[in-house]
Structure 1
Amino acid sequence: MNFTKADLRKELTYRASRSGGKGGQNVNKVATKVELLFDLQQSALFTGEDKVWLTAKLQSRLNRDGLIHLTSEESRSQLDNKERAVDKLYALLEQALQRPKARKPTKVSKQARAKRLEQKRLQSVKKQLRKSDY
């Protein structure tokens, strides 16, 4: 990882709106739902190669303007929802940047090959014994 949550916060845009769900009268008065927008292509945190990789991995998360759009409305506090949205984005980017290890091709061992052939031979014998002579 070459970025921190603090670095990430500098490039985020937030929008707040009224949230649904629990909260009673608070829901009707206070804008606690947080929408987080992150422009991946304009970010200075990632190299060009990382941006291409992230764009491919997060294609389903990008809106038509090329922004990553996350929402959080679990809490009754706007500040808590902001923190949760940042945590979600950080986890999403962290997971998307994981590169899979290259598979090292290996040969089947002699013992495994012999065991497989022995099982095939035993199966064949079993089938031969089932055949009737008449």
Structure 2
Amino acid sequence: MIRITERIALDDDEVQEEFLRASGAGGQNVNKVETAVQLRFDVRGSPNLPEGVRERLARLAGRRLTKDGVLVLSAQRFRTQERNRADALARFVALVQEAAVPPPPPRRPTRPTLGSKKRRLEGKRIRGDVKAMRGRPEGD
């Protein structure tokens, strides 16, 4: 079981891992050892995700989501397969946790109170009086 939150847990068999050779620098190690990890998770087909979390996860995934609704995460930052597996899984859990947080309710605009309007205008009047005192004296 992969524990996401207190209420959401995913089965281990819902997440598939595929190992492949990493690209980029690394010399012989990169050329012969399959250290890169490609993690796949079927967002649309998961029975353990609530509908709201599923929709937010699909939105957060962006280009990492295929047309079939499969989330694909690649990890090849480290030299070892085990560290790349842990990295991919940690990123996956963080993404699902972010999707599990419901958005805040929309802000309802309110009108300023009469007291706040008066305080604002009084402050403007005082500031205007200060600025008016900066001018030349009237007798000159």
Could you state the TM-score of these two structures normalised by the residue count of structure 1? 0.75
| Pairing partner for 2:124 from 87, 112, 120 | 120
Is there any run of 5+ residues in structure 2 with no aligned partner, and where?
A: none
Measure the CA separation in 1 of the matches of 2:77 and 2:112: 51
Specify every segment of 5 or more residues in structure 1 that has no aligned partner in the other structure, as ranges. none
Partner of 1:40: 43
Count of aligned positions: 132
Secondary structure of the structure 1 residue equivalent to 2:8: coil
User: Matches of 1:29 and 1:58 in 2, distance apart?
Assistant: 31
Deviation at 1:14, TM superposition (A): 1.8
Structure 2 distance, partners of 1:57, 1:77, is: 28
Encode CA deviations 1:83-121: one digit per residue, 9 max, x unaligned. Answer: 210110110010122113335766756765444222211
Q: Give the aligned partner of residue 30 of structure 1.
A: 33
Between the aligned partners of 1:29 and 1:112, the Cα distance in structure 2 is 71
Distance 1:60 1:21 in 2: 22
Counterpart position of 1:13:
16
What is the deviation of 1:18? 1.1
Percent sequence identity is 31
Corresponding residue SS for 1:35: strand
Deviates more, 1:94-103 or 1:111-120: 111-120
Residue equivalent to 1:99: 102
- Of 52, 55, 74, which residue of structure 1 is paired with 2:55? 52
Q: Which residue of 2 aligns with 1:66?
A: 69
Q: Which amino acid aligns with 1:36?
A: L
